Structures are given as C-alpha cells and as structure tokens.
Amino acid sequence: MPTPEAGQLFLELLSVMARLRGDQGCPWDREQTRDSLRPFLVEETYEVLEALDEGVPARIQEELGDLLFQIVFHARIAEERSEFTMADLLTALAGKMVRRHPHVFGGDRVDSARTALARWEAIKRAEHSPERSSALDGVPRTLPGLLRAQRIQHRASRVGFDWPGAGPALDKVREEADELGAAIDRASPDEIRAEVGDLLFAVVNVARLATVDPEIALQEAVERFRSRFRHMEAAAHAEGRDLSGRTLEEMEQLWIQAKAQETVR
C-alpha cells in the first residue's frame, strides 16, 4: 500500500483538530484559549530543543510533532474567530520565503551565506517599514535573557557594530567585572543589578564570537555543578556525616575530589 503524501496527512491532522474542538469533541481541548495554551507552546519548544541535544531521531520526530500540534491548535482557534485559516497561514508563509530568497527564486545572485542573510534582513525591513525601523526590531522581549542578548548582538553585528573577535570582547568582560566590584563596594543595589546585567551581556558577546551557544554552555555548567555536588553528598554520607555538617574547607576538598573523579572518567 503506498505511503500517504505529507499533504494528505496534514489535512487529516487538521480534521483531527477540528473534531477535537467540535461540539462533540474533547471537553479539555474545547475550553482551551490562546492564553491557556501559551505554557504548552513554550514547553513543547524546549522539549524539541532537548530532543535535538539528545540526537535520537525518534524523539526528535515525536517532539516536532507535539510542537506542530500546538501550531495547528492556534491556527484552529484563529479560524474559529474568523481571523485567518491554515490555508491563509501557509500561503503567506510560502510567499514570504519566496520573496525573501530572490537569489533562489529570482534572478539575483549571492556569493555567501552572510550576503544572503543581509539580503534577507534588507527585504524584511522594507516589508515592515515603518513599524520596524531599527535593525534590532523584531527580537521578542519574551525570549529568555541569554538568547535575547545573543540575538540582539547578532543583529547589531550585521551592520558592522561588533567586536573584532572574542579576545577584545573578553577584555570588556574584565572591565565589566571591575565595575561590578566597585558597585558591590558601594553597596548600591541598583548599580549592582545594572552591572551584573552588563557583565552577563558582555559574557554572551564572548560566547557568540567564540561560536559557543551561551545557553548550552550555561546548561552544561549547571549539569557539571549538579554532578559534582551530588558526588560531594555521596562522599560525605559514605563517611557518616552530612554535607551540612562540614566546614567550608572540608567541602572544598570534597569538591576537588569530585572534579578529579570527573576528569578520570
């Protein structure tokens, strides 16, 4: 039996969604709103990212499907409100992709990915003018801080406002750390908060220029800390004493042992 085409299966998915939201559908699905679905959209996005990190095709497929279902859900709500249909959404999306790739679908030519990206941004700004007059417009305020900083810096770099490399950006980190130290000495909460923000922003710059994703780097650092801390707890329990009963010097020795064991592995 021939495998159904993706388009046919997508239509079936839309039918499933319509039935779930219909008069005889699922009570839970029927009562959902855009606001109630927001947490699920965010959660499913992060589950896709986690699946991509794991690299297991079956898991990636499953999580992409869950994310697609959220998009179909929102499109169905829009159709019920007579705002737009999935056909409208897909037509606009396909048109936008063709319009913003004149080097593929038109007669223009580009010689690098950087040039293609610059062309994309120029077309995008022209489409949104005058609502988006800045090169930084369009980066959502709701993004997590590290990701938003990375996107803002990347946008600025496209017009040439950037450090020449990770080394000079690291010098800025040292400068910001000194300014934070001075704010701490002055015991000024507002200054401390501002300087902590500047320091984090500067660190993201270094990560970006060193081609490291700061979010992934931080998550990996958190996991290393968890692993080492759990090793410290296990070592303390093995000696018959809770970690909380140790001095800071004793805990530092356990931390060193945990790092050494991690290196051996």
Q: How would you write the pLDDT of the chain (265 residues) with one tens digit per residue?
A: 456 799 999 999 999 999 999 999 999 999 999 999 998 998 999 899 889 989 999 999 999 999 999 999 999 999 999 999 999 999 999 999 999 999 999 988 888 888 888 888 788 878 875 656 677 887 888 888 998 999 999 889 888 899 999 999 999 999 999 999 999 999 999 999 999 999 999 999 999 999 998 988 998 999 999 999 998 888 888 888 888 878 899 899 989 988 888 754 4
Whether the CB-CB separation of 233 and 182 falls below 8 Å is answered with no
Every domain of the chain and the residues it spans: 6-97, 100-133, 134-212, 216-264
What stretch of H or E contains 37?
A: helix 34-54
Fold of 6-97: Helix Hairpins (1.10.287)
Question: Which of 103, 99, 100 minimizes the C-alpha distance to 121?
Answer: 100
Q: Is the pTM here over 0.85, yes or no?
A: no
What CATH number matches the domain at 134-212, 3.40.1230.10, 1.10.3720.10, 2.70.150.10, 1.10.287.1080? 1.10.287.1080
21 in Cβ contact with 29 (< 8 Å): yes
The candidate with the shortest Cα–Cα distance to 210, out of 148, 150, 139, 145, is: 150
**Six-digit token string for 176:** 């910001």
Q: How many residues does the chain have?
A: 265
